Amino acid sequence: MTYCVAVFDSGVFAWTGKEGYFWQAVGLSMVGGVIMVHAQLLRSRLLVHNEGHDLWGPDLLMNMLVIAALPLAFFFLGIQAVVGLSLLGALLALLFYKSSELNEISMRNEHIALKGGFQLFAAFLVLVPLFISFESGLFHSAFIPETGNSSLVSLPVPISLFLTYIGILLIGAYRAARLSIGMIFFTFVAMVFTTLMVADGRTGLDSTKLILIIQCVLPMGALALGEMLKTDGLDTSVRVEKTFLAILLMVVPFQLISSWVQGSLTLSGYLYVFSIYQHLDYVPIIFVAAFLLALFALWQVNGHRNALLIFSPVMGIYVAASLSLTAMVFLVGGLSAFAVTRWREGAEKMPLGICLAVFVTCLVYLNAVSSYLPLLDRFSDWGQSTLDAWGYYADQVANSLKTLMLGNEDSVDRSRFTSAHNYYLDVIRNFGALSILPILLVIGYTVRISYAARRQILSNMALQGHLLVLLFLLAIDNSTQVGLRQPYPGVFIFFVWGLFIAKLAHSNHFARQKYEVKHV
């Protein structure tokens, strides 16, 4: 009632001296209070009736989203959007607790409905290149803004960033993702802590750094989503890779044809029905990663080899049209590794032919593009800008022990450097080495379990391809770009990372079962 009166007849409360949005916030808070009471009752029931169950995961993700929503709502939509945050917090609490309860019920019944559907949904949401604009809805524009040259508020946002948390709610297996949720928690705390420590007594957080914290942390939810696929009712089959291939078969030819129709040999982000943001920077690398995952996993699956054979040269044209040197190296290198693997295991010659065909296709297409675009100058400029950014950020980090551990007080002028061209250096410069420790620890954990499961990996092509892709994305791509803090590539990389951990857990589970049966 208070909210309705404040909206339709704000003069009723004029005698209080408070603005109308204050009373709107009060009204929505009252509604949120009712919902929160129900959520807390649900929380208490979960803690009492589920032995050994904790709600650390739901509590952390819920509160992180509320904290992220506060500055985003204010900067994107204005002060009026902030009035509903109390209600939003209550709704998120109810949703996350209900999600956890449904998972507990399904686990007790040893059944999770739509287990294949979860994998298809997750694979679709992390790869499909659909973006939304807060100004116009679905991003559909012939003008593609450049990263770093526009306000963060006006840049398109991938739907995968939002659908990731919907996927987490649908699965609700928070106990299966404790590693991921722990990394998210400690990264977020470390970034806020270091930012406050270097603030020199100023009140509050710098808005630019606050948005940067949110930008770094939100994509990490996809790590939890990928890791959740290791629950008892969700096996890690090749459904994800099949979905990746299906999306690529639809989008890549369509994008190439759209570019040629527009009279350009280079890749265009405008596909008439929708537009792809960062179509020359990050999307080609993610598409190559998805293709290599599908290639390694589906090569021996009936009905998919012919599609991969025909589609491989198309991917060669695609990466050449993107003019992304990293994507070209990734594709040719990945195909070379695949050819060597197949030659060693089965003396297959066809993968080597595919690798050579793709390499020649790239060179021929690049030669056509070079007739009107100086490619050597373009690649040289990219290399020089990368080296300049590395030098500048390294100097900023090496100023003192304080800047190394806690980061710098101010943000870098985006008109000068859009990023460090290195994710790890970028995080250390802005938030210090303390903030990069959680992700480094998870990388170390991944290396350790990979070594422990080396026999399973060497005997499984899908795992070999997954490890190859993950190593390239983490060690090479994010040493030349900042994909892990960009919404679209960040969601994909973290999901692939979490899925790899899930696959190893699934593989080790069955390996232990075989060992126990053998020695009974």
pLDDT band at 8 (very low <50, low <70, confident <90, very high): very low
Nearest to 489 by CA among 330, 277, 321, 242: 277
pLDDT digits (tens, 9 = 90+) for 16-43: 545 555 656 666 777 777 787 877 787 7
Structure tokens of 82? 């902030």
Q: Determine the pLDDT at residue 18.
A: 54
Angle 280-282-283 from CA coordinates, rounded to 5°: 75
**pLDDT above 90 covers what percent of the chain?**
36
Q: Give the whole-angstrom CA distance, residue 282 versus residue 279.
A: 7
Q: Give the whole-angstrom CA distance, residue 233 versus residue 397.
A: 46
Q: Determine the pLDDT at residue 20.
A: 57
Structure tokens of 4? 């309705």
pLDDT band at 208 (very low <50, low <70, confident <90, very high): confident
pLDDT digits (tens, 9 = 90+) for 371-387: 777 877 778 877 888 88
Q: Determine the pLDDT at residue 15.
A: 46
pLDDT band at 137 (very low <50, low <70, confident <90, very high): confident
Q: Determine the pLDDT at residue 190.
A: 92
Average pLDDT over residues 444-460: 91
- Residue 174 CB burial class (10 angstroms; 0-12, 13-18, ≥19): buried
pLDDT digits (tens, 9 = 90+) for 229-269: 875 544 556 888 999 999 999 999 999 999 999 999 999 98
Helices (H), 50-145: 56-77, 85-108, 115-127
Q: Determine the pLDDT at residue 119.
A: 76
Q: Which of 63-77, 151-165, 360-374 has the lowest mean pLDDT?
A: 63-77
Q: Give the whole-angstrom CA distance, residue 297 versus residue 377.
A: 38
Mean pLDDT of the chain: 81
- Please indicate, yes or no, whether the overall pTM of this predicted structure exceeds 0.75: yes
Q: Give the whole-angstrom CA distance, residue 368 versus residue 375.
A: 11
Q: Determine the pLDDT at residue 448.
A: 93
Higher-scoring residue by pLDDT: 324, 79: 324
